[in-house]
Amino acid sequence: MSELIVIGYDEPSVAKKAFKAVQELQKDHVVDLNGLAVVTVDQDGETHVDTPSKTDKMALSATAGALWGMVFGILILTPGIGVLGAALGGLIGKLNQMGVDKDFRSKVDELLKPGSAAVVIMASKVTEDKFAAAMQSFGGTVLKTSLSDEDEQALVEQLAGGA
């Protein structure tokens, strides 16, 4: 079972600190990351997605980073897109089947207004009490949904076939 957690912040600087804290929590085995990104929206409304760099000690594999970067992009960047290509439409359909539906994406979109940011976490394991205690000092608005192992594998296969 994987958790998709989106934590929204009014200040990008706070989101970047929270992003670093999540990386530390991985080192401490509080969270096992499958994907991690900080998403910022600049004052012009442009969205920027940053994932751990290859120089980060706890960076995800290049393949995992690319796959989850695509998921984050679809989660964050597509709420209002009308006509979609077959691969992208299939991927969004797969996300919808897994509980990452239009309503969840809409809530994420509401968090991301110009000048704000969010940390997006895909984790296969989260020690809830330790994670919550470590992240509490950053505040923020938390959205969360779960994916079964089968759903996550199907999503990876959809991404590999659609990419």
Top-confidence residue, 111 or 17: 17
DSSP the chain: -EEEEEEEES-HHHHHHHHHHHHHHHHTTSEEEEEEEEEEE-TTS-EEEE---TTSTTPPPHHHHHHHHHHHHHHHH-TT--S--HHHHHHHHHHHHTT--HHHHHHHHHH--TT-EEEEEEEEEE-HHHHHHHHGGG--EEEEEEE-HHHHHHHHHHHHHH-
Top-confidence residue, 56 or 154: 154
Give pLDDT, residue 142.
Answer: 94
Give pLDDT, residue 51.
Answer: 76
Report the mean per-residue pLDDT for the chain. Answer: 74
Of all residues in the chain, what percent carry a pLDDT higher than 70?
Answer: 60
Q: How many domains does the chain have?
A: 1
pLDDT class of 4 with cuts at 50, 70, 90: confident
Mean pLDDT of 135-140: 96
- Summarised one tens digit per residue, pLDDT across range 59-79 is 454 445 555 555 555 555 554
Give pLDDT, residue 23.
Answer: 93
For the entire predicted model, the pTM comes to: 0.75
Domain that holds residue 118: 2-162
